[in-house]
Amino acid sequence: MMIAVAETSTRRDAGPLPLAAFAEHPFIQYIEQPSGGLRRLTAEACAAAGFAPRTVQTVPQIATMLCLVGTGIGVAMVPETMARFVVPGVAYRPLRERIVTDLILIYRRSDTAPALRATLRLARRLVDKSSLSI
């Protein structure tokens, strides 16, 4: 996980930062979901860092979240893969803590779609590299 900050933020040029460094910042968060998701992960990570995030806006999409970060109204904890998503006004900062979550892949075994089969092959390769199970 990483923190998305406005490019004008004083936090944008630093190396890996502890999540606690953002305790006083307003947070833009993903909407609540019954399964928990990104909002729950953010709350748990912030609690482990000794604070509760002060949510100023909730959004249904990460792209919207990042656009709001770019306006400077708050910061957001996002998956590392989002750092590839270039949004004007947004910088991504690595966190000192390693924050991970489960990723579940659900599919129909009878589905023979080439895109699904390619996704499953990729998932198995990634799992093999990480000593996890699928």
pLDDT under 50 in the chain at which residues? 133-134
Percent helix, strand, coil in the chain, to 5, is 35, 20, 45
Identify whether residues 35 and 63 lie together within a single domain: yes
Q: Which domain holds residue 26?
A: 2-94
Do 19 and 78 lie in one domain? The reply is yes
H/E run at residue 109:
none
86 and 112 in a common domain: no
Q: Are residues 119 and 90 in the same domain?
A: no
90, β-bridge pairs: 6
- Contact in structure between 56 and 27 (CB atoms under 8 Å): yes
Check residue 131 and give its pLDDT.
Answer: 53
Residue 38: its pLDDT value, please? Answer: 87
16 and 55 assigned to the same domain: yes
* 35, 66: one domain: yes
Does 83 lie in the same domain as 42?
yes
Report the pLDDT value the prediction gives residue 112, as an integer from 0 to 100.
93
pTM above 0.85, yes or no: no
